[in-house]
């Protein structure tokens, strides 16, 4: 294999696949895409219903967990991240949300000119396969199909009606920057199949002669000549090799692995690197800092209505649903039934929603690590809604393990350090309970499973939150975009690593503040904008 390329992209996930496609559209660019995980050849990646299983498997997953979380009663929180071509877009729940216009205006106000809502919304559109709601007008530049779910259920409709009765209003479009109220989500699927960034952006570009893709290949460190990035050290089948870039190296390894690779390569806080025995190439304080994530709890209800998903999620019926989805692209297996949800306010005085929810006409298996465990199918009909704070104040960090700096890093999410975060989620529980108490949905009640009818006071709800809250799998922010005057900035507004030549970061780690949404769509947007920045430089 040639060991010199124009561009080397490290990480074949949501951002990396977009970059590989866009940069290789120019035939004069010789592009290398490196993914640590395997190819996504397995048909299981295309079955939407299997989203609830794929994130639990070690084969395609970095399988991280946090250190004991101080404010979650010392619990370690499971953090799955995609380790397969397509990254987390190959194993996630496929929900497509862009957030609120204020999210990106905040990015701009923090010193990142060109990243306001009016600047970035065209890059969301650029990715999308269709230009109109009827799916008839094709976007010649778009690859990603965005579709509503072809699935309805009486309890889902009751949730929508109850939200309206609770004065939350109906939201016709969660993706116009103004999301508020109850409604139906959009998903990255089409014709009964998941559409990850590898199945869309890479589908045609894989055959380009100027694009090389390496899977099952680990990058140990980035190489430098002084403070100029020159190449990388890789391992494939335990064989070491060096590859060099004529133009740029781009880290798209994600919120955990991008800062980790920087630290392992000598870019980061001098004192931390010294403790790990790594020579400092460039002292950059913000690497691994500014970590943010969405933290959820689930309000679960046992139902008197027998026709919930419990009826269909027994192993014999699941197998038939999956088989039908694969062959005919129809039925329950062809969708992920977390189809409805809401943008809500924790208190009425909020100007914009600060809570997000997803609703499902069945009970959650989210805390069950292994899909084959006996407890996987809960033995009663029911439904649930999760609730999480959109813009947490707490900040965590990622650091190297001093005992094994080239092993898995240490993750400190620091959930609920700030009291306002706990108050917001507590109020969110009350908001969901109020929706559930409305007549359309309440008629399906048997009793509340979680938190349970005995959990009533603020102190009781807080205790329950600390003992049960889990991640929504939206970590961002560990290579913060911002001006050099900000001591925690890692990349500038063009996503160049501050103080280093020929090195950029393009993934969710550059987000200065977490957006008010599921984070896959903003990550794809970042890659779309970054590809233009790179090609124009």
Which member of 282, 294, 358, 474 is catalytic? 474
Q: Tally the C-alpha atoms within 13 A of residue 58's C-alpha that lie toward its C-beta.
A: 2
What angle, rounded to 10 degrees, do the helices at 154-165 and 419-436 form?
Answer: 110
User: Contact 300/308 with Cβ under 8 angstroms?
Assistant: no
Residue with tokens 């009964």: 192
Distance of CA 344 to the CA centre of its chain: 20
Beta-bridge partners for 236: 217, 239
Distance CA 455, CA 476 (A): 32
Q: CA-to-CA distance for 151 and 491, rounded, in angstroms? A: 42
Q: Which residues of 291-321 are buried (b: 16+ CB within 10 A; e: fewer)?
A: bbbbbbbbbbbbbebeebbbebbeeeebeeb
d(CA 164, CA 154): 15
Q: Report the alpha-carbon distance of residue 320 to residue 228 in Å, rounded.
A: 55
Q: How far is CA 263 from the centre of its chain?
A: 22
Q: What angle do CA 326, 327, 330 make, to 5 degrees?
A: 75
Return the ∠ at Cα 297 (arms to 64 and 71), rounded to 5°.
65
What are the two backbone dihedrals, phi and then psi, of residue 532, each rounded to the nearest 5 degrees?
A: -70, -40
Coil, helix or strand at residue 530: helix
The backbone torsions φ and ψ at residue 252, rounded to the nearest 5 degrees and listed phi first, read -130, 40
> Angle 355-126-117 (CA atoms, 0-180°, nearest 5)?
45
Cis peptide bond prior to 451, omega within 30° of 0: yes
46 token code pair: 């295309």
Residue in this structure with the two tokens 């970035």, named with its chain if needed:
120
Q: Which helix (H) or strand (E) holds 294?
A: none
Helix (H) or strand (E) holding 157: helix 154-165
Containing 303, the helix (H) or strand (E) segment is strand 295-303
Judge whether 282 counts as a catalytic residue: no
d(CA 203, CA 213) in angstroms, rounded, equals: 12
Contacts of 185 (CB under 8 A, 6+ apart): 95, 96, 97, 148, 149, 174, 338, 339, 340, 341, 358
- The catalytic site residues sit at 474
């Amino acid at each position: 294999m040639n060991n010199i390329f124009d561009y080397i992209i490290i990480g074949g996930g949501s951002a990396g696949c977009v970059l590989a496609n866009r940069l290789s559209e120019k035939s004069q660019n010789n592009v290398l895409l490196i993914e640590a995980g395997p190819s996504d050849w397995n048909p299981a990646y295309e079955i939407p219903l299997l989203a609830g299983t794929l994130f639990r498997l070690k084969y395609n997953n970095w399988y991280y967990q946090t250190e004991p979380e101080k404010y979650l009663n010392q619990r370690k929180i499971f953090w799955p991240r995609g380790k397969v071509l397509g990254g987390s877009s190959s194993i996630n729940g496929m929900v497509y949300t862009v957030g609120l216009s204020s999210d990106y205006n905040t990015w701009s106000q923090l010193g990142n000119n060109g990243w306001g809502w009016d600047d970035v919304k065209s890059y969301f559109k650029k990715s999308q396969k269709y230009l109109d709601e009827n799916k008839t007008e094709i976007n010649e530049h778009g690859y990603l199909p965005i579709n509503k779910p072809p699935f309805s259920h009486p309890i889902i409709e009751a949730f929508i009606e109850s939200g309206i009765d609770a004065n939350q209003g109906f939201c016709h479009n969660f993706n116009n920057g103004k999301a508020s109220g109850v409604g139906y989500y959009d998903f990255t699927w089409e014709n009964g199949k998941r559409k990850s960034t590898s199945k869309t952006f890479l589908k045609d570009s894989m055959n380009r002669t100027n694009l090389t893709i390496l899977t099952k290949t680990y990058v140990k460190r980035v190489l430098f000549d002084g403070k100029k990035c020159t190449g990388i050290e890789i391992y494939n089948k335990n064989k070491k090799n060096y590859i060099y870039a004529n133009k740029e190296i781009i880290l798209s390894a994600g919120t955990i692995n991008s800062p980790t690779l920087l630290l392992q390569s000598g870019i980061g806080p001098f004192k931390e690197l010294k403790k790990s025995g790594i020579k400092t190439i460039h002292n950059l304080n913000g690497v691994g800092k500014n970590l943010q994530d969405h933290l959820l709890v689930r309000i679960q209800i046992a139902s008197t209505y027998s026709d919930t998903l419990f009826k269909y999620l027994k192993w014999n019926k699941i197998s038939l649903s999956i088989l039908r989805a694969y062959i005919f692209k129809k039925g329950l297996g062809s969708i992920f039934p977390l189809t409805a949800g809401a943008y809500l306010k924790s208190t009425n005085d909020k100007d914009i929603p600060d809570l997000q929810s997803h609703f499902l006409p069945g009970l959650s298996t989210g805390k069950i690590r292994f899909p084959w465990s006996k407890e996987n199918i809960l033995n009663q009909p029911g439904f649930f809604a999760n609730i999480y704070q959109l813009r947490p104040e707490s900040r965590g960090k990622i650091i190297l393990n001093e005992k094994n700096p080239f092993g898995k890093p240490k993750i400190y999410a620091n959930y609920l350090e700030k009291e306002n975060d706990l108050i917001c989620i507590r109020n969110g529980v009350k908001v969901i309970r109020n929706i559930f108490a409305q007549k359309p949905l309440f008629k399906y009640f048997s009793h509340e499973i979680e938190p349970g009818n005995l959990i009533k006071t603020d102190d009781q709800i807080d205790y329950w939150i600390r003992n049960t809250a889990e991640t929504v799998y939206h970590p961002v922010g560990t290579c913060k975009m911002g001006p050099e005057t900000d001591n925690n900035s890692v990349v500038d507004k063009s996503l160049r690593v501050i103080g280093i030549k020929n090195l950029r970061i393009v993934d969710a780690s550059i987000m200065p503040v977490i957006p008010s949404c599921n984070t896959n769509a903003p990550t794809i947007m970042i890659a779309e904008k970054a590809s233009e920045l790179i090609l124009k430089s």
